[in-house]
Structure 1
Amino acid sequence: MAGSTTAERGERQQESSDPPLTRRRLRLPRLRTIIILSIVLVLLGAGSVWLLYGSSWLRVERVSVSGTRVLTPEQVRDTADVPVGAPLASVDIEAIEARLRRELPRIDQVDVVRAWPHGIGLKVVERTPVLTVRSGEEFVEVDRKGVRFATVPEPPKGVPALELTVSRSSSAAASLRRFGEARLVREAVRVAGALPASVARGTQVVKVRSYDDISLVLTGGTTVDWGSGENGAAKARTLHALMKASPRARHFDVSVPTAPASSGS
């Protein structure tokens, strides 16, 4: 293997003979660049923090509300208690959402958003009642999840009443002990949600005697034995077909959808 040439050995000798001062001078521009960039980054960071939290440019000036139906925008805005005048970046979004859900149970979903540069948006979705429960002279609204969320002086139109009348029979009592009142209410909600649209509009009362003994009272006094909340889609189809086939009937039984029955005229 050939050794180093005379020229190569000379170059290496020249490099090794460069004084330390020369090498330090080569490194100085690099060091200055790093220092300058560091200072610039610090200044940019400090400026951003000041812009977000210290300046008057990005502060809350307005609060908008959307999605209300029964609640008023003023109710939502007052309950949210957004700190007007505070830096927009410092507003505690999660705390506002939690406060609205806690103090306004009619709200099912809420989304609090920053609307740069000066706004906060409150987007709410209210619960929709599917049943009402009488409580003295008032009515409690129940949503599709079985949540009792509001008490009103008059029942909302088109929303059936729930009658939870567990009979004294041993089977009904056992049903109540096993499932509890909250579960029976959810079953009633489940039934109400499965009704055909034409039947739902005319349903006045959903009666619950036990888990598997749920019935309906329709406009005009027509009754329907629904059974449990299971197989709701099949029961809905069967009821729709049965009512078309027997329009004068006063009672329908779809508790066993494969063996329905109707009676009365």
Structure 2
Amino acid sequence: MTETGGLAPVRDKAAERTRKRFARRQWARRWLTWRYVLVFVLLVAAVVTAVWLVFFSAVLAVKSVTVTGADLLSERQVKQAAAVPEGEQLAVLDTAGILLRVKALAAVKSADVAKRWPDGVEIRIVERQVVAVVDLGGRWRGIDSEGVVFREYDRPPGGLPRVQVLATADRDALREAAEVVAALPADLSARVDHVEVATVDQIALVLRDQRRVEWGSAEESAEKASVLAALLEAREARVYDVSVPGQPVTSDSAR
């Protein structure tokens, strides 16, 4: 065997290895390029799927509405007022509009509307609490501590003070009277037959034994209640004036 003949196979093997290495490098480059393309395609597909699920699919559309905190109101009343569009995509649901409609109910003091994924809406309400009843146009209506009229009674319920609104009273005066009633401690409130309100600073309590308390406005109500409790224990009188709690006055003359 000649030297040339012996080297030829070696050169062929070396060339083959070089070709294979080149082919592998070429394939690696192609795979790297296709890998980026594949990742991009998968990302686009994921985004498209997510958009379809959130904005178009029935999977994330409103299917249920729950109401918590309703007592005076029924769940049906709250749901009717809320008017939540069932079948609408939860992602684009107008919760602010729903909240405004729920808060428009007179008995609702505060409310919150929340999305509950994947397909629910929760409405949480806090109802107003009656502190007194008032005769308005021949109908007994309940009012809360802010003077908001929000429910009706066939007759005055026991245990709640009545508010008598004089001709000179306006809405602000009614609100002030409600604040006075809400500020009364339970033992004093139980002794009140009714509250007379003429103006925002002309409010009086008439006790169940017909003694009268000139209260003034709702300012310093806690101090006025404390002074009145001491006066009721210390002296029998027809009229107690605590409108200026630092200078209370009593009288045996009915006004």
TM norm structure 2: 0.74
Is residue 170–residue 199 contact of structure 2 (8 Å, CA) maintained in 1? no
Unpaired runs of 5+ in structure 2?
1-28
Among 66, 69, 87, the residue aligned to 2:89: 87
Classify the secondary structure of the residue corresponding to 1:57. helix
Aligned to 2:177, which of 178, 182, 188?
188
Structure 1 residues 135-154: aligned runs within 5 Å = 135-154=136-155
Distance in structure 2 (CA, Å) of the matches to 1:91 and 1:196 = 45
Distance (Å, rounded) in 1 between the aligned partners of 2:192 and 2:33 = 82
Which of structure 1's runs of 4+ aligned residues deviate more than 6 A?
27-34
Residue type of the alignment partner of 1:73: E
CA distance in 2, matches of 1:116, 1:72: 24
Out of 70, 73, 84, which is 2:72 matched to?
Answer: 70
Identify the match of residue 203 of structure 2 among 203, 214, 224.
214
Identity across the alignment (%)? 36
**Which residue in 2 is equivalent to 1:228?**
217
Equivalent residue, structure 2, for 1:110: 111
Deviation at 1:134, TM superposition (A): 1.1
Which amino acid is 1:142 matched to?
I
Aligned partner of residue 195 in structure 2, secondary structure? strand
- Aligned partner (choices 228, 237, 244) of residue 239 of structure 1: 228
Partner amino acid, structure 2, of 1:50? W
Structure-2 separation of matches of 1:145 and 1:30: 71
**2:147 aligned partner, one-letter code:** G
Q: Which whole-Å deviations, capped at 9, do the CAs of 1:40-92 have from their partners, x for residues lacking one?
A: 44322211122223333323332211111211112212322223333332332
Q: Give, as a single letter, the amino acid of the residue that structure 1 aligns with 2:60.
A: L
The answer as to 2:247 corresponding to 1:259 is yes
User: For the residues of structure 2 that align with 1:216 and 1:54, how far apart are their CA atoms?
Assistant: 62
Which of 182, 185, 201 is 2:190 aligned to?
Answer: 201
Q: Is residue 217–residue 224 contact of structure 1 (8 Å, CA) maintained in 2?
A: yes
The equivalent of 2:126 in structure 1 is: 125
Q: In the aligned structure 2, how far is the partner of 1:136 from the partner of 1:155?
A: 14
Q: Using the alignment, how far apart are the partners of 2:158 and 2:50 within structure 1? A: 54
Instruction: Determine helix, strand or coil for the equivalent of 2:59.
Output: coil
- Paired letter, 2:100: A
1:140 is displaced (CA, Å) by: 2.7
The residue type equivalent to 1:257 in the other structure is P
The separation in 1 between residues aligned to 2:94 and 2:116, in whole angstroms, is 14
- In the superposition, the TM-score normalised over structure 1's length comes to 0.72
Structure 2 CA distance for partners of 1:30 and 1:198, relative to 1, 3 Å: farther
How many aligned residue pairs are there?
226
**Contact (CA 8 Å) 1:137, 1:153: kept in 2 or not?**
no
Could you tell which deviates more after superposition, 28-37 or 251-260? 28-37
Give me the whole-angstrom Cα distance separating, in 2, the residues matched to 1:36 and 1:245: 92
